[in-house]
Amino acid sequence: MTKKLILILAAFTLSAAAADWANWRGPNHNGSTVAAGLPVKFSKTENIAWKVAMPGPSAATPIILGDKVFVSSTDPKAKELLALCLDRRTGKEIWRQVVGEGYQLDNRSNYASPSPATDGEVVTFFYGNGDLATFDLNGKKLWATKIQAEENGFAFQWTFSTSPLLHNDVLYLQVLQRNTGVRGHGKANGNESYLLALNPKTGKQLWKHNRPSNAKAESLEAFSTPMPFTHNGREELLIVGGDCLTGHNPETGKELWRWGTWNPSRIGHWRLVPSPAAGGGVILACAPKGSPVYAVKAGAKGEGELAWKSAGRTDDISSDVCTPLFYQGKFYVMYGEGRDKTLSSVNPATGKADWQVNLESRALVRTSPTAADGKIYLQSHAGEVFVVDAKDGKILNRTMLGEKGDDLTRASVAIASGQLFIRTNGALFCVGR
C-alpha cells in the first residue's frame, strides 16, 4: 500500500468518524451515515463516554454538529419547553434556553417530540404546542414565533409532532391536520393543511402552500416530517399524510406529483406517523395500523405509479410508527406493535424480505432505525437498545439503558463522531470512547 493511499484512507476514516447528525434522519435524510468502529457491546456502565440527566422526557432525537449536541426537552416541574446545547466531548451543558410554556396535551406524549435541526449556522427547535424558535450556535435567540396561535392551536386528536427541516438555506415545516376542530383545538371549520417555508435566520415567511386531501377526520392528521429527495437531477420535498404521498418543488411548494391512496374506503381514524423513505428508485409510504407498505416509483409527474406493495401484517412488512431506514441499498422496516416486534430487510426492487428478525421485546418498539458501520440501532419503549447486523439480522447486542418503569421512550439513536447518542426518558448517553 502506497503512502498516498494510506493518507487517503486515513482521511476517509477521520471524516467518516466526524460526520455530523444535523437533523432527525441524519446527513442522508434516510437514517444512515458513514462511520467506522461504532460500538457493539455497551451497557449503563460499559463503553460509556458520558451520561447526562435530562430535565424531562422527550421523544426528540439529539442532533450533533461538531463538538455541540442540541437537545429538545421538557421540564415537567416548571412546565417549560427547553432548548439545550451540550459539549459533545464531556456532556457538559453549554447553554439552555426556555422556548415556551407547557408540557403535554395528553398522556401519550409531550410537546417536545419534534427533533431540532441545524444547518451549521443556526439551530431550530419546534414544539407540539406551536412554539418555533431559532438560535445561533452560541445560544443567542434570533427569532421566535407561535404557529397557529390565533387559531386555537392545531386540529389534532393527539399532540402534534413534526420535525423542522433545514435544507438549502430554507426552513421547512409541514402541518397536515383535520379540517374541523377536535377536542376544542383548531378552528371549528376550515383548518388547512400546508407546507411552510421560512428564512431560517429571520423567520420571514417565504411561501405557504396549501395541501388539500380527500381523507376524512383523523386520517387527515399526520405526524410525519418532510424529506428532501433528488432523483435524476430533480430535487423535491416528499410529504406523506392525508391518505396520499406527494412530491413538491422546494423553491415554491408547488405539487409535482401525487400518489394515493392506501385508504380507498376513507376510514376516518388512520392518522399517519411514519415519514417517507426513499432509495433504490422508489419512495415508501407506510400505511398505518398493520397495513401494507407501498413503494411508489421515483421521478413521477402528475400521478405517481405504484411499484409494489407488501402484504402488511401477513408478511410482517409493515410500520405503524417507525420511519423505514434506507442503508446499503436496502430498506429496513420496523413493525414494533403487537406480540412480534419484527425488523425486516427489504429489497427495494421487489418488496420482498431478505431477512426478518423478531426482537423479542416485551415493550413496544417505536423508534425509527438508524445505521452505520454495518450495524442497525434502535430502542424500545422501555429503553432497551438493540444492535442488529445489517447483513443477516443477527442481534449483536441488547442492553437496558432505561430505568425501571420507563415507558414511551421513542427517541431514535443518533450517530456522529464515531459515537452513539441515545436519549432515554431520563438521560442522554454518549456511547463509545
CATH classification at residue 295:
2.40.128.630
If you average pLDDT over residues 406-425, what whole number do you get?
A: 97
pLDDT of residue 124: 98
Look at residue 178 and tell me if it is in a domain: yes
| Predicted pLDDT of residue 338 | 87
Residue 257 within a domain? yes
Q: What are the pLDDT digits (tens) for 230-267?
A: 999 999 999 999 999 999 999 999 999 999 999 999 99
In a domain, 93, yes or no: no
Q: Kindly state whether residue 225 falls inside one of the protein's structural domains.
A: yes
Q: Is residue 328 in some structural domain?
A: no
- Helix H, strand E, coil C: the string for the chain is CCHHHHHHHHHHHHHHHCCCECCCCCCCCCCECCCCCCCCCCCCCCCEEEEEECCCCCCCCCEEECCEEEEEEEECCCCEEEEEEEECCCCCEEEEEEEEECCCCCCCCCCCCCCCEECCCEEEEECCCCEEEEEECCCCEEEEEECCHHHCCCCCCCCCCCCCEEECCEEEEEECCCCEEECCEEEEECCCCEEEEECCCCCCEEEEEECCCCCCHHHHCECCCCEEEEECCEEEEEEEECCEEEEECCCCCCEEEEECCCCCCCCCCCCECCCCEEECCEEEEECCCCCCEEEEECCCCEECCEEEECCECCCCECCCCCCCEEECCEEEEEECCCCCCEEEEECCCCCCEEEEEECCCCCCCCCCCEEECCEEEEECCCCEEEEEECCCCCEEEEEECCCCCCCCCCCCCEEECCEEEEECCCEEEEECC
Between 5-19, 59-73, 282-296, the lowest mean confidence (pLDDT) is in 5-19
Residue 15, pLDDT above cutoff 50? no
pLDDT per position as a tens digit, 332-366: 999 999 889 999 999 999 999 999 999 999 999 99
- For residue 237, give its domain range: 147-309
Is 193 part of any domain?
yes
Which residues lie closer than 8 Å to 220 by C-beta, 6 or more apart?
176, 177, 178, 179, 193, 213, 241, 242
Question: 140: Cβ–Cβ under 8 A, 6 or more apart, which residues?
Answer: none
**Number of domains making up the chain:** 1
CA atoms within 13 A on the CB side of 256: 20
Identify whether 23 is part of a domain.
no
Residues 196/177, Cβ–Cβ less than 8 Å? no
Closest CA to 369 of 355, 348, 383, 385: 385
Confidence at residue 66, expressed as pLDDT on a 0 to 100 scale: 97
User: Is residue 390, in this structure, part of any structural domain at all?
Assistant: no
Question: What confidence tens digit (pLDDT) does each residue in 357-366 have?
Answer: 999 999 999 9
pLDDT above 90: percentage of residues in the chain: 91
* The overall pTM is greater than 0.85: yes
